[in-house]
Each structure stands twice: as C-alpha cells, then as structure tokens.
Amino acid sequence: MDQHNPFARPSTLPFQLPPYAAIRDEHYRPAFLEGMAEQLAEVETICSDPAEPSVANTLLALERSGQLLDRVAAVFFNRSSSDSSPFTIALEEELAPLLAAHSDAIRLRPELFARIAALHARADELGLDPETRYLLERYFTQFTLAGAGLSDADKALLRDFNTRLSVATTRFEKNLLADTNDLALVVDDASELDGLSAGQLSAAAQAATDRGMPGRFVITLVLFTGHPYLALLTNRGVRERLLAASRARGIRGGEHDNRALVLSITRLRAERARLLGFATHAAAVTADETARTPAAVGDLLHRLAVPAARNARAEQAELQALVDADVAAGILAEGFDIAAWDWAFYSERMRRARYDVDTAALRPWFELESVLRDGVFYAAQRLYGVTFTERASLAAWHPDARVFEVCEEDGSPVGLYILDVYTRDSKRGGAWMNALVSQSDLLGTPVIVCNNLNVPQPAAGEATLLSLDEVTTLFHEFGHALHGLFARVTYPKFAGTNVYRDFVEFPSQVNEMWRFDPEVLANYAHHRETGEPLPPEVVAGIHASATFNEGFATSEYLAAALLDQAWHGIEADAGTEITDVAAFEAACLTAAGLDNPAVPTRYASTYFAHTFSGRYDAGYYSYIWSEVQDADTGAWFAEHGGLTRENGERFRERLLARGGGIDPLEAYRDFRGRDAIIQPLLDRRGLN
Ligand SMILES: [Zn+2]
C-alpha cells in the first residue's frame, strides 16, 4: 500500500474524522488487503509468543490488532450503504468472501483459541477488573460458538456447512428479489386504482413505462405481506390481487421457488448447531443473546400471543360492523366477511372517524430543522446536558451529510455526530446508525457516529416537512447515536452499540418517547407558516389512538417471530421429516392461536428475508424482547419526573456509557433497581 494512502495512519482531522477530501476509490482495495494481512501478522505474533498466555500478550494484543482494517472498513461500508456506486458494489462483492475467510482464519486458529481457553480456565485467579473479566468471557464464548474448540475434521465440516449456507441464503435472496419484481401488480385502468394520490398514480404509471408497458400501471411489492396501498385502494378485487401477489412469492414452483431452500437452510443450521454441541440452531443463537434460551423467548412470545389474538378478534368485529353498516345504508350492494385484504382499508377509515387523526396532514408542524434542533437535540440537552454545533468546515462523504460537534455542559468535547437525512438512488432503504470511529480508552480513540435516513428531498428552496413516522425514526436513530457517543469503555470490542442483538434496540426505542414529551413537543412542533403549536386535540388524538389496531399489529409480528423460532427449533434428526413448508407454518400458527386468516403473518417463510437471508435467524424476536425494557424504562422516567438532567444522567452513566462492557441485564438492574417487568409493555400495546 502506498504510504500516501489516506488510510495508512489515523486521521489528523478533529476527532479523527476520515479525510474525505483525500479519499479516492483506488485507496480502498489496497487498504483492505494490507489491513487483513497486517491483522494476520499481528495474530501470528500472538500465537507464536513463547511466553505464557497473559491478558496483555493475548487479549489486549487482540484488541489492538486490525486497526488499519477497522479504519478502512468503517469508511467503506458506510459509503457503500449511503452513497454506493458500481465501484463500491463490485468491491463489496469481491471483499465478502475474503473478509469471511479472514474472520475464520482468526477464529478457527487453534493456537489462538488455546491461549484464550488457558486464560479462561484460570480467569478467577487473574485479579481482573470487571470489564476485562467480561472481555475474556466474551472472547471465549464467541470463539467457542464459532467452532474454535472443534477437532480438525469437525472444523472442515463446519466450514462446509458455512459455505453451503452462504450459497443457499444468497440464492434465497436472489429468488425473493426476482419473484418480488415478477409479481408486481399490473393494472390496466386508472379507475381500478381509486384511492391512490395523484403522485402515487403517476409513480405506478412510470413503473409500467419503465417495464415496457406504457399506458398501464404497476404497483411494486414491499417486503411485508401487507402492502401500504391496501389501506387506500377502494376496489376490493384489486386489494385481493395485491395481497395474493405478495403472498405468492417463493411458492410458485419453477426456478424462484424458495420452499426447498427453506427446508435445506433450516436442516443445515440444525446440523451445524449439533456439531457445535447445541440441540437446535435457536439454542446456539440465543446462547449468545440476553435471552439465553429458546424457552425464554418462547415464554414471552406465547404469553403475548394470547391477548394479541383476542384483541385482533375484537378489532375484526368492529371492522365487520363498518361493512355491515355500509350494506344496511345501501353504500355496499352486498356484504362480505372482513378478509386480510380488507383490514387496513377499514381500520384506517375507523382511525379517522374515531380519533380525527389524519397523520398525512401533520407535516407542516414537523419541519426538519425544528424537529432536529428544537426536538431531538433539545431533549438530549435537557437530559444529558450536551450541546450540538454544526461544523460546516468539516466535510463528510456527501454534501448532504452534515457534521455536528457534540460538547458536554462544561464545553469539553464528546465527539462528532453526522446526519445524512435525504434519500437518493445511491442509498439503501431504511434508516440506520453506524460508527466511523469507535470510542476506546485502550486505543485512545474519540467517537464519531452517523445517522442515515431516507427522507425525500424537497424542491429547491422548499422546507423539509417530515411525516410523524419520520419524526419517530429520527428520534429512534438518534437514540442509537447517543449509545455510541456516550460510550466510556476501555476496549474497542465494547464501544457503544456493540451489544447483543436482542438488546441493541432498547436505547433507541427509549429515545422515541421524547418526541411526545409535552415539553419537547411544545418546543419543536410549530406550524411552518403560522407558527402555531400542534393543537392539543390533535395531540390528544395521537395519544388516544396509541393502542388502536395493536391487536393486529402485535399478532402479525408475533406470528413471524414464532415462525422464525419454530423453524430454528428443529433438531437435526427431525429435519428430514419436515417436507411441507405450508403445513409446518400452519401447524405453528395454530399451536400459538395466531391462525386467524384475516391476520396473516408479517412475513411468510418463503419471503422471510430477516430469517433466511438476513441476520435475524432465530432472532426476529429481538424487537419485542427489547421493547420490554424500553416500556419499563418509559415507566421509570414517568415515575421520576420525566425529562430532567438527573434522570438523564442516571440512564447515561449506568446504561448508555457502559456499551457492551458489562452483562446488559446487570447494567439494567443497576439503572432500574430491579429486572425489567412486562406490565408496561402489556399496557402500551393494550394486551392486559
Ligand atoms: Zn434501531
């Protein structure tokens, strides 16, 4: 690697901000290759050290290894998500197998594991501080779960399972993409799309033109079973066709059928789990989560499923009454039973009638700059004392990405926060947080965190007006950012959001609560033109409708989470007995009492990307799992006076600052004074 390569050494810009002005495409590849080689050499030095394994010559040496690789990876993967190009896409594809092999070369290296295991065996005699003790525990667990303790023959088997799984999950993803495109709904006449806005109609016309069908209309599918347009389309037949198209993905026979892949992926995972000493894949996954066992996950999901299904049935009866009333009034020629494709349409009608909340009309109160400065930043200042100053002189990866310096109450620096809010073709969908530089005392690194959103860019000169959902998303992602910014850990492994998957959404969900805090809301929600605050009756309507339709929403989520657990609760020997995907799904949903045909699962197996090609295998439960702590924390703030510096300080010091350097349930107990209880979640979702 050329010594002028900007990745060659830590940046000298404030907070080690990557020198974006100097970074060019040709710098990435050599930095990755040298970064991997450098880390392998560092690991080689550890393994060949003739001295007895010690914390310093093994654990700390490992924590110090790979700094060049970390530097280039943080910058590259942020860019490939946020501002991709044919170059980043090609390089990402080239790097994926190299990075996987690199990680295997470290984790499956017998001499390295022998040193970690030797330390672990006498962990209690080493006199370690709690964070270092936890570091040793985490290394031992993660190496073990990766197969480091296996014989050479079993390691070969493991590598074979991993390769076959990566091929199968990649094919699953490609099939899903192909079927999602092929099954897009084609409509001949605009009148059939009554209910869509002019903008939505012209997008459908454009999509048809793009596919060589000018004059017609194409509605592209979303990953969810339920398409957002189901709430809008007045034509019942079109709604039925749209839902059927969504549910047909992966089950049509032919080359894009995913059923055989679902079976083979679950079997391979079960066999790999057995090789690693676990009864099931779910047991192997949850062993490295706060849940610890599939039984604990099952207890929570089943407990919630009963009241959720009951509430959904009550909601269904109310929607049915709307249809029946339309028939009685002569608005509908004939009646019908509420079906899955009718649910969203009638529930949105009921929401407007009952709560007078038209979420689409709220945008003028949610102007981006006010929401950001007078809402998101304001709440953080009231809770944690921190202030935010935009640094226009510091450049990030794209002109839209804005850099803010974060300071403590006394003016001392915290780090940098970068916000890239607008959507563009080169940005992947969704919203997320990542770290460009991770705080660590061992390496003396500061902290830089980023948030990416996908808010449509307004016309030139116009203000950016957010939807209520986008306001929620900004508060949520900022919660992840605070988790990263406030980290005060020794080891890079534990910085900020480097926590368990079933814990990581907890701080971000907690931060969502401040968007509706009366003091925060009054500070940021002013009408763009009139300056008027959000009318109290609208606020009341938003609060009153909080549990509306939650029976449906909770049921469809739980159904998917239970399916994910069921597929990964199969033991290796039993895998071959399961041959019918639809029958397996049906049996699982019936057993949970979630088999109401009007409430389909959020994803069916053949298009459940989270579990078959994403990183949520046996982990889709995580969202509601961390919501237990989130709701319990909301209750704590409410009991203790809400938005105060004292409350914020306690949450920051006892929870956010500790990152992954402590058992998170222990940190939670320290903050809350006890374990989380489920009641606040039941209250919030109306599940009592
Ligand atoms: Zn999140």
Q: How far apart are CA 347 and CA 315, in angstroms?
A: 8
CA nearest neighbour of 146 among 99, 109, 98: 109
DSSP state, residue 605: G
Quick one: pLDDT at residue 575? 62
What Cα–Cα distance (Å) separates residue 102 from each residue in 14, 50, 94?
Answer: 31, 24, 13
Q: 184 burial class (0-12, 13-18, 19+ CB within 10 angstroms)?
A: middle
Contact 397, 78 (CB under 8 A): yes
Single out the residue of 510, 551, 560, 500 nearest to residue 301, CA to CA: 560
Distance from CA of residue 8 to its chain's centroid? 32
Q: Which two tokens stand for residue 557?
A: 């989520």
End-to-end alpha carbon distance in the chain: 62
Q: What interhelical angle do 622-639 and 294-328 show, nearest 10?
A: 80
What are the tokens at 351? 């929401």
Q: In angstroms, what is the span from residue 453 Cα to ligand 1's centroid?
A: 12
**Count of Cβ atoms closer than 10 Å to residue 576 Cβ:** 10
Distance CA 575, CA 609 (A): 20
- Which residue has tokens 């399961």? 578
Q: How far apart are CA 342 and CA 233, in angstroms?
A: 10
Q: Assign residue 184 a region (left: φ > 0; alpha: ψ between -120 and 50; beta: otherwise).
A: beta
What are the residues whose beta carbons fall under 8 Å from the beta carbon of 40, sequence distance 6 or more?
102, 105, 106
Q: Which of 72, 66, 73, 46 is nearest to 58 (CA)?
A: 46
Report d(CA 269, CA 280) in Å as an integer.
8
pLDDT at 641: 96
Distance 506 CA to ligand 1 centre (A): 8
CA of 623 to the centre of ligand 1 (A): 9
451 alpha carbon – ligand 1 mean position (Å): 11
Type of residue found at 626: S
Helical segments of 183-214, H only: 198-210
Q: At a CB cut-off of 8 Å and minimum separation 6, what does 658 contact?
A: 488, 489, 667
Ligand 1 centre from 493 Cα, in Å? 20
367-370 CB contacts, 8 Å cutoff, 24+ apart: 367/463, 367/464, 367/465, 367/466, 367/526, 367/528, 368/421, 368/455, 368/463, 368/464, 368/465, 368/466, 369/463, 369/464, 370/524, 370/525, 370/526
Determine the Cα–Cα distance for residues 189 and 517; give it in Å rounded to an integer: 46
The residue type found at 59 is: L
Catalytic positions, written as ranges: 477
Closest to 219 in 3D by CA, of 249, 254, 250, 243: 243
- Which amino acid type is present at position 185? L
pTM for this structure?
A: 0.91
Whole-number Å distance, alpha carbon 463 to ligand 1 midpoint, is 26
Tell me, in angstroms, the distance from the centre of ligand 1 to residue 551's CA.
23
The single residue listed with the structure tokens 């009608």 is: 349
The dihedral built from the CA positions of residue 656, 659, 662 and 666, taken in this order, carries a sign that is positive
Q: How many Cβ atoms are within 10 Å of 340's Cβ, its own excluded?
A: 20
| Closest among 421, 545, 425 to 471, alpha carbons compared | 421
CA 314 to centroid of ligand 1, rounded, Å: 31
Q: How far is 54 from 69, CA to CA, in rounded Å?
A: 25
Six-digit token pair at 100? 């996987």
Q: Is 482 helix (H, G, I), strand (E, B) or coil?
A: helix
Contact (CB, 8 A) for 223 and 173? no
Q: How far is the CA of 345 from the centre of ligand 1 (A)?
A: 28
b/e 11-43 (16+ beta carbons within 10 angstroms → b) = bebbbbbbebeebeeebbbebbebbbebbbebb
Residues 6 or more apart from 380 whose CB is under 8 A from it? 386, 388, 478, 482
Q: What is the DSSP pairing of strand 413-422 with strand 402-407?
A: antiparallel
**pLDDT less than 50: residues of the chain:** none
Pick from 175, 201, 180: which is nearest to 189 by CA?
201
Separation of 17 CA from ligand 1 center, angstroms? 24
Both tokens of residue 459? 């016309």
Burial bucket for residue 419 (CB in 10 Å: 0-12, 13-18, 19+): buried
Ligand 1: distance of its center to the CA of 476 in Å? 6
